[in-house]
Amino acid sequence: MQSLKDMLVESKIFANREVLSPHYTPKKLIFREKEINNIERAIAPALKGERGRNLFIYGKTGSGKTSCARYVIEEVRDIPNGRAKISYINCKIYNSRYRVLNKIVSDHLPTYAKRGYGAVDLYEKLTSWIEEDNKILVIILDEVDVVKDLDDLIYTLTRINSDIKAGGVTIIGISNKVSFKEALDPRSLSTLYETELVFAPYYATELYAIIKDRAGMGFRANVINDDILHFIAASAAKEGGDARMSLKILSKSGEMAEERGLDKVTMKEATEASRFAENDVVYELIATLPEHHKLVLYSIAMLTQSGGSYKKLTDGADTYLFSGEVYRRYKSITESLHKEAKSERWYRKYLSELEMQGLITAFESGKGIRGHTKLIKLMYPPQKTKDVLEKDIMGYERETEKEEPA
């Protein structure tokens, strides 16, 4: 174990830890030139004082969506332009219409935002501010699907363009869930007129190039070799092409080597860091799921641990569950928490989104298993999955939202 004195000595491993962080935006984003160009096209009209087209960006965690958006924001800030204004909003933090409006006003009219006005006042102030000198406001909503009153937010933001005589608003939404729009009210959808951009997961060769570039900046010379970088890239590719995971493994490998007093990263550190990062990324993902997604996943974890009702579908290594029994368990758990279970249509949507996140796999059974049905398999250890979910699910009963100004 390192002492405080050891920690203050110049690192033999790291040259610049910051560049190994998933939150660091490099000067060049490799393998995402086309996607960056599409985001630039959405924002370009605003720089000329025109309304752009709304853009919605989709892709799995770690596919570069946020990094590309931040990259373009920095580009815009380097261009002298008085009329185009940008607000970047992390919807995990600002997760309601009121909070989003308050954040936008706070970005551009900070004194006004601190006065505790309600949503209507914020809206009116925002529209007046846009209209006074024909501003074009670009609003980037990262993780937009977690907004609790998403319909109200989308409707409010798109309505600005109808209520103002000059200027305009362009919306860029970023989501891990391609299907999140299905939950929107038709009135909100009809006002979007959006274009879509899908980020594919990274291949192992692309992840290798990304982490090799970061390792060259983040580590001292000869600290990590190509074999280890290829191993880290392959580990992250196996988990869905997640660049964030590959960077976490890379950084954690270096931390472990440093803690052990080594002057190089070995395969032992990389292997241990891979296991650590996998758990870290997956359970961070689980913890941020919407409420009913968690309840469905919790039902799957419980049934997986008990073997489900149909033992013949357990082969000793994998447990396959019938969709119907998962839905019945979900309803039972929901009722025990004094909540209202969603319909089977919504339940199927939750399954699709859990599968897209890589938390479960689901497929149609062949003939002979009680007709056609969907079989479900949990992709991660059930006990650990339950541990994360139990804290959150049981916490829902105790949670109370602070009142926001009317």
CATH number at residue 239: 1.10.8.60
Which of 199, 221, 256 lies at the terminal end of a domain, its last residue? Answer: 199
Alpha carbons 161 and 43: distance in angstroms, whole number: 16
Which segments of 51-95 are extended strands (E)?
55-59, 84-90
Assess whether 334 and 280 both reside in one domain: no
Q: Is residue 312 situated within a structural domain? A: yes
Assess whether 189 and 310 both reside in one domain: no
Assess whether 243 and 377 both reside in one domain: no
253-270 in b/e form (b: 16+ CB < 10 A) is bbbbbbeeebebbeeebb
97: nearest Cα among 144, 59, 57: 144
CATH number at residue 345: 1.10.10.10
Assess whether 42 and 134 both reside in one domain: yes
Assess whether 65 and 195 both reside in one domain: yes
Assess whether 117 and 185 both reside in one domain: yes
Q: Which pLDDT does position 286 carry in this prediction?
A: 85
308: nearest Cα among 395, 369, 390, 391: 369
Q: Is residue 6 situated within a structural domain? A: no
Quote the tokens at residue 5.
């004195």
Q: Which pLDDT does position 188 carry in this prediction?
A: 75
Question: Which range of residues forms the domain containing residue 257?
Answer: 203-287
| DSSP secondary structure code for residue 312 in this structure | G
CATH number at residue 185: 3.40.50.300
How many structural domains compose the chain?
3
Assess whether 125 and 218 both reside in one domain: no
Q: Is residue 15 situated within a structural domain? A: no
Q: Is residue 405 situated within a structural domain? A: no
Q: Is residue 191 situated within a structural domain? A: yes
Chain mean position to CA 308: 31
List, in order, residues 6 or more apart from 232 with CB less than 8 Å away.
207, 211, 246, 249, 250, 253, 270, 273, 274
Assess whether 190 and 272 both reside in one domain: no
Which of 151, 176, 199 lies at the terminal end of a domain, its last residue? Answer: 199
Q: Do the Cβ atoms of 63 and 243 come closer than 8 Å? A: yes
Which own/partner contact pairs does 114-118 have at CB distance under 8 Å and 24+ positions apart? 116/405, 117/405, 118/404, 118/405, 118/406
Q: Is residue 121 situated within a structural domain? A: yes
Assess whether 56 and 189 both reside in one domain: yes
Q: Which residues of the chain have pLDDT under 70?
A: 1-9, 81-82, 179, 183, 308-318, 365-372, 394-406
Which of 272, 287, 302 lies at the terminal end of a domain, its last residue? Answer: 287
Q: Which pLDDT does position 9 carry in this prediction?
A: 63
Assess whether 392 and 334 both reside in one domain: yes
Q: Is residue 28 situated within a structural domain? A: no
326: nearest Cα among 281, 374, 372, 291: 374
Q: Is residue 406 situated within a structural domain? A: no
Assess whether 194 and 211 both reside in one domain: no
List, in order, residues 6 or more apart from 112 with CB less than 8 Å away.
105, 125
Q: Enter the pTM of the model.
A: 0.74
Assess whether 221 and 97 both reside in one domain: no
